[in-house]
Amino acid sequence: MTAHEPSMETLREQLGEGLRRLAAPLVGLLGRLSVSPNAVTLAGGALALVAAGLVAAGRPLAGGVVFLAGSALDLVDGALARAGRGPTPFGAFLDSTVDRLAEGVVLAAVAYRFALAGEAVHAAGVVLALLASVLVSYTRARAEALGVPCRVGLMTRPERVVVLGAGLLLDLLAPAVWTIAALSALTAAQRALHTWRTLSGR
């Protein structure tokens, strides 16, 4: 794609590595307690449901804190799996499924709050954000099924989590939702173009 994408990917990897180092003590503790990675994944999903309930109840700040805490467990489950017997196919499936659930329920709660406030345009923006976010995941899955590595793009899940979490914490939900919608749509387009170029060059 562009000259910026490799540096973006490197930045993500460096940030992820730094966060994994911060999470290492918790990973070690959970390992000693024989907590399974799948249990951590499910705990993250449960926290997302709690966050959605808080947002729906009109408590976005508390919802944002719980949402970010649950999202942080996404780092822990993978590190815990690698520290043990290694990631399993079902663990990867469960992790991806819970990730989609976590984003979906919190965004649904945001749409509910917009609907209650009579802000139909922003509620529609949430629907677009959800659609674009699903397309980001779908384009990667389809590309990789065709043998094309496809991690390019500006707005992957970590960025969406940060933007949505910041929107909840700072009470800036409308800008957060439209940012996710626009940049996720751009990312899906970047991935489609990347896949087309790679397959055309074979």
**Annotation says 99 is catalytic:** yes
- Backbone torsion region of residue 157, taken as left when φ is above 0, otherwise alpha when ψ lies between -120 and 50, otherwise beta: alpha
- DSSP class of 153: S
| CA nearest to 57, candidates 105, 126, 113 | 113
Q: Which amino acid is at 201?
A: G
Q: What backbone phi and psi angles, to 5 degrees, belong to 139?
A: -65, -35
Whole-angstrom distance, CA of residue 93 vs CA of residue 50: 22
Q: Which of 74, 77, 95, 99 is catalytic?
A: 99
Residues marked as catalytic: 99
